[in-house]
């Protein structure tokens, strides 16, 4: 079953893309089924997001073409055989599906190869190995010779990064599912419960209400490990639980929230101080979201607020502006403030991070911490971004920096040592840029110290 927008929406998207080109075609291979442990035991099917954007259909083994010269769209694919129908039930005909997404022409897959002959073929970077192999066959090139079209990438980013009203509605829906996932975990976060149990049910909620999680759920008491996908610990009094998780709704629009909660039900004074600092950075980063602001300015604002807080606590010192510019705060927050989000949780990451978050006006920094910022460029109405500051105490990183005496003018390493086993805190929401400013997506999810403590104790 396909969940689709009205057919003219897909047509308009293709027309807008087409308008930017006068020659050649754009080729969009669908994602295929992806095997786990043998060919027919496959993961949950996930269509390619560019395919979803221009052709809507969430189906494997089809190919979409936008012909920039003939100004028309085509779908190449085969109808199901009777044998498939016995095992898989009634299947719609591709020609009927094409009508649903206003595609002009349907042809059998066997005609694709000759159709492509002598054409200038634009394609996006293939990220699945089977589609790499398929492209080598279709384009008669080696894998190393498959060069994606920069022009196509840039035009797609320009279209996909501005979310339309019907997309924003889907994003709200995805955020609602995310809120349900987090609310469940907050209500069941108690000493003795296993991380795996909470992780599993959170993923189950995402599947129950949509298409599943938008990325592998992070749910760990070792919040200092930024990409921690182990869930083998039992929740312990006194520790913090970080949950970074989002949902994909039935139309594959994504959400992404992070909350950090004290397993005991109340934050210790030490936890509370750090939490308040991250909370203020999150609130400041969100408050500053509006059209015309470069998102790197929001990053700067948030890490400045973090630095101020860390100075109050006694973990940092010295000139704040200088400290931020040099990246001293990156000991505590090595990552960026956020990323775009839409049909992918890191939206369009398959097209290349620098095309999505940077442009001719702003280049990626080479400074540790600053260089991890995914979305730096000027915000426009219709952008949706995550705002996710954090403070972490990462023993390995502390050891390296301390041994190198890095930023001794800004960091009180003796005090940092007393936080060595603290863990980490991150707080994240998704923010839509509007004409007037911004709107946080989804129902409000408990975020302040008192809100978190209240729901944990409820």
363 binds a second copy per the rule CB under 8 A: no
Comparing CB distances to a second copy, the nearer of 47 and 295 is: 47
Binding a second copy (rule: CB under 8 A), the pick from 350, 388, 429, 453 is 350
**Residue 192: exposure state from Cβ atoms within 10 A (0-12, 13-18, ≥19):** exposed
Looking at 11, 15, 225, 365, which residue binds a second copy (CB under 8 A)? 225
Distances, alpha carbon 61 to alpha carbons 45, 266, 365, in Å: 12, 52, 40
35 binds a second copy per the rule CB under 8 A? yes
- Which listed residue (1, 360, 457, 458) binds a second copy by CB under 8 A? 1
- C-alpha 409/C-alpha 393 separation (Å) is 19
Among 72, 107, 128, 364, binds a second copy (CB under 8 A): 128
Exactly one of 81, 87, 110, 118 binds a second copy (CB under 8 A); which one? 87
Nearer to a second copy, 148 or 200 (CB): 200
Query: Does 345 help bind a second copy (rule: CB under 8 A)?
Result: yes
Sign of torsion, CA 24 160 148 249? Answer: negative
Query: Least separation, in Å, of the C-beta of 231 and a second copy?
Result: 9
How many other CB atoms sit within 10 Å of the CB of residue 23? 9
Nearer to a second copy, 159 or 356 (CB): 356
Q: Is 40 in the site for a second copy (CB under 8 A)?
A: yes
- Output the smallest distance, CB 345 to a second copy, in A: 7
Cβ atoms 28, 65 nearer than 8 A? yes
Identified binder of a second copy from the candidate list 14, 257, 346, 383, rule CB under 8 A? 346
Task: Report d(CA 326, CA 404) in Å as an integer.
Answer: 15
CB of 194 to a second copy, least distance (A): 8
- The least CB distance from residue 126 to a second copy, in Å, is 10
d(CA 242, CA 262): 9
Nearest to 178 by CA among 226, 245, 124: 245
Question: Could you give the CA distance from residue 225 to residue 228 in angstroms, rounded to a whole number?
Answer: 6
DSSP codes, 120-158: -EE-PPP-SHHHHHHHHHHHT--GGG----HHHHHHHHH
Contact call for residues 357 and 375 (beta carbons, < 8 A): yes
Q: Does 371 bind a second copy (CB under 8 A)?
A: no
- Pick the closer one to a second copy by CB: 1 or 110: 1
Asked if 365 touches a second copy (CB under 8 A), the answer is no
Any contact of residue 30 with a second copy (CB under 8 A)? Answer: no
**Alpha carbon 259 to its chain's center:** 16
Q: What phi and psi values does residue 332 have, to the nearest 5 degrees? A: -95, -30
- Residue 364 as a binder of a second copy (CB under 8 A): the answer is no
Instruction: Name which of residues 397 to 456 contact a second copy (CB under 8 A).
Output: 397, 400
Q: Interacting stretch for a second copy, rule CB under 8 A, among 54-62, 106-114, 225-233, 303-311?
A: 225-233
The beta-carbon contacts of 271-276 under 8 Å, at least 24 apart in sequence, are 271/240, 271/422, 271/425, 272/449, 273/309, 273/312, 273/313, 274/309, 274/313, 274/391, 274/422, 274/425, 275/425, 275/449, 276/309, 276/449
Q: Which lies closer to a second copy via its Cβ, residue 2 or residue 15?
A: 2
Question: Which is it for strands 105-107 and 72-76: parallel, antiparallel or unpaired?
Answer: parallel
Given 344, 388, 428, 429, the residue binding a second copy (CB under 8 A): 344
Q: Which stretch binds a second copy (CB under 8 A): 22-30, 46-54, 146-154, 379-387?
A: 46-54
Provide, rounded to whole angstroms, the least separation between the CB of residue 30 and a second copy: 12
- Residues, the chain: 458
Name 261's bridge partners.
241
- Compute the distance between CA of residue 264 and CA of residue 267 in angstroms, rounded to an integer: 7
Of 171-210, binders to a second copy (CB under 8 A) are 196-209
Q: How many angstroms separate the CA atoms of 184 and 195, rounded?
A: 13
Would you count residue 394 as binding a second copy (CB under 8 A)?
yes
| Nearest distance from C-beta of residue 154 to a second copy, angstroms | 17
Is residue 237 involved in binding a second copy (CB under 8 A)?
no
By C-beta, is 127 or 236 nearer to a second copy? 127
Determine if 127 is a binding residue for a second copy (CB under 8 A).
yes
Residues that bind a second copy (CB under 8 A): 1, 31, 34-44, 46, 48-49, 82, 85-90, 127-130, 132-133, 143, 196-209, 215-216, 222, 224-228, 230, 232, 334, 343-346, 349-350, 394, 396-397, 400
């Amino acid at each position: 079953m396909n969940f689709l927008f009205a057919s003219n929406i897909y047509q308009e998207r293709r027309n807008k893309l087409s308008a930017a080109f006068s020659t050649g075609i754009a080729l969009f291979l669908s994602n295929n089924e992806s095997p786990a442990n043998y060919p027919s035991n496959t993961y949950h099917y996930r269509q390619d997001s560019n395919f979803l954007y221009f052709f809507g259909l969430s189906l494997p083994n089809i190919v979409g073409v936008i012909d920039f010269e003939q100004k028309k769209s085509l779908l190449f694919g085969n109808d199901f055989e009777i044998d498939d129908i016995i095992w898989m039930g009634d299947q719609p005909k591709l020609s009927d599906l094409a009508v649903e997404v206003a595609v002009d022409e349907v042809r059998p897959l066997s005609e694709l190869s000759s159709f492509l002959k002598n054409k200038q073929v634009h394609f996006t970077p293939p990220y699945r190995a089977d589609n790499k192999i398929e492209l080598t066959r279709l384009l008669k090139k080696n894998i190393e010779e498959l060069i994606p079209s920069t022009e196509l990438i840039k035009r797609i980013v320009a279209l996909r990064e501005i979310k339309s009203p019907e997309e924003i509605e889907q994003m709200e829906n995805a955020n609602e599912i995310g809120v349900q996932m987090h609310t469940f975990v907050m209500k069941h976060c108690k000493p003795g419960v296993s991380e795996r149990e909470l992780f599993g049910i959170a993923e189950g909620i995402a599947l129950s209400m949509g298409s599943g999680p938008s990325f592998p759920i992070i749910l760990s008491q070792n919040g200092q490990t930024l990409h921690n996908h182990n869930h083998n610990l039992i929740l312990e009094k006194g520790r913090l639980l970080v949950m970074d998780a989002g949902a994909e709704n039935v139309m594959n629009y994504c959400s992404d929230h992070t909350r950090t909660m004290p397993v005991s039900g109340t934050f210790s004074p030490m936890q509370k101080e750090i939490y308040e600092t991250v909370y203020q950075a999150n609130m400041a980063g969100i408050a500053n979201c509006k059209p015309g602001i470069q998102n790197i300015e929001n990053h700067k604002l948030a890490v400045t607020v973090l630095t101020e807080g860390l100075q109050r606590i006694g973990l940092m010192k010295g000139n704040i502006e200088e400290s931020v510019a040099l990246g001293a705060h990156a000991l505590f927050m090595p990552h960026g403030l956020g990323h775009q989000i839409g049909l992918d949780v890191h939206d369009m990451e398959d097209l290349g991070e620098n095309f999505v978050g940077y442009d001719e006006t702003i280049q990626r920094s080479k400074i540790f911490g600053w260089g991890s910022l995914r979305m730096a460029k000027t915000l426009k109405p219709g952008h949706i971004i995550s705002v996710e500051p954090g403070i972490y105490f990462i023993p390995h990183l502390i050891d390296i920096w301390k041994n190198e005496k890095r930023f001794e003018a800004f960091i009180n390493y003796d005090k940092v040592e007393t936080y060595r086993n603290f863990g980490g805190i991150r707080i994240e929401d998704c923010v839509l840029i509007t004409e007037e400013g911004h709107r946080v997506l989804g129902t409000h999810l408990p975020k302040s110290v008192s809100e978190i403590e209240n729901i944990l104790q409820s």
